[in-house]
Structure 1
Amino acid sequence: MKKIIAIIVVALTFTLTGKAQNNMKTEAAVVSLEQTKGEFTQKTLTLKEGDYIFEIANKNVGHQVGFVLVPKGADASKPENHIKTAYVTKAVENNTKETSKVTTLTKGEYVYFCPLNPTPQYTLTVK
């Protein structure tokens, strides 16, 4: 009987702990962006502070594309200034989509671009 009670207590502890951790996780909004040859179709973005996952679509560019996000004013040519969590987890093949890791954005201005396409730098504003 004690063994059964101990098993129930352990099972209940794992269940409650798991639910508490799930409730603590923040929801990340998905920002979908698409690239065509030499450009993003979305030229500017305005978001609220929060957690985001960037979903990048390669719309027939003809080769792999990527995604770089940098605080505005930082030298975008230097990888140490890139927000690494915003990188897609792997290069986006032609006519496919890939996503980034969860990226927390705070108020301010950022620029996004693709050095592989290559694209101009576009503005992302967080209010």
Structure 2
Amino acid sequence: MKKFITTLVVLVAFITNANAQDKMMADKSVKVVSLEQTKGEFTQKKITLSAGTYIFEISNNNVGKYVGFVLTPKGKTSAENHIKEAYVKSLVKNNTKQTSNKVTLTKGEYTYFCPLNKTPQYTLVIE
């Protein structure tokens, strides 16, 4: 009985470890894109990426107010076309960073901007 319990514990530990590794491997396919905002602009004016899943990390570099992040298909910047998953999880306070949820992007052109910081609209190209 003791051998059976020991074997069972080892088996459960092995399965748990394998599942944890699978989850870690899945997360490696998600890439982080860091974007910095200063007063009235993003410092990155145009971005080119490959198709895939991304998390956007938005940095508020002394803008002096909250900032956000909006991503849309190019030419469709009205609110109903916003890619909601790309919104930051909460507004980005002055001199802090915040991230979006995971966003899967396919080949095409997108527009990104911040209406709170009144930035221009910039281009994101997915190849």
TM-score under structure 2 length normalisation: 0.87
Percent identity between matched residues is 57
- Determine the C-alpha separation between the residues in 2 that align with 1:110 and 1:3: 56
* Closer, same or farther: CA 7–99 of 1 in aligned 2, 3 Å: same
Runs of 4+ residues deviating >6 angstroms: none
Question: Which residues of 2 match residues 55-74 of structure 1 at below 5 A?
Answer: 55-74=57-76
Q: Deviations over 1:21-56 (max 9, x none)?
A: 333334322222111221112211111111222111
Deviation at 1:95, TM superposition (A): 1.5
> Which residue is equivalent to 2:21?
19
Aligned AA (1:87) = Y
The match for 1:54 among 46, 53, 56 is 56
Contact 1:56 / 1:98 at 8 angstroms: preserved in 2? Answer: yes
Where do 5+ consecutive residues of structure 1 fail to align? none
Where do 5+ consecutive residues of structure 2 fail to align? none
Count of residue pairs brought into register by the alignment: 125
Aligned AA (1:52) = Y
- Determine the C-alpha separation between the residues in 1 that align with 2:63 and 2:28: 34
TM-score under structure 1 length normalisation: 0.87
- Determine the C-alpha separation between the residues in 2 that align with 1:56 and 1:21: 25
- Determine the C-alpha separation between the residues in 1 that align with 2:23 and 2:63: 41
CA RMSD for the aligned pairs?
Answer: 1.6
- Determine the C-alpha separation between the residues in 1 that align with 2:6 and 2:30: 40
- Determine the C-alpha separation between the residues in 1 that align with 2:120 and 2:67: 13
Deviation at 1:68, TM superposition (A): 0.2
The match for 1:7 among 6, 9, 22 is 9
Contact 1:60 / 1:94 at 8 angstroms: preserved in 2? Answer: yes
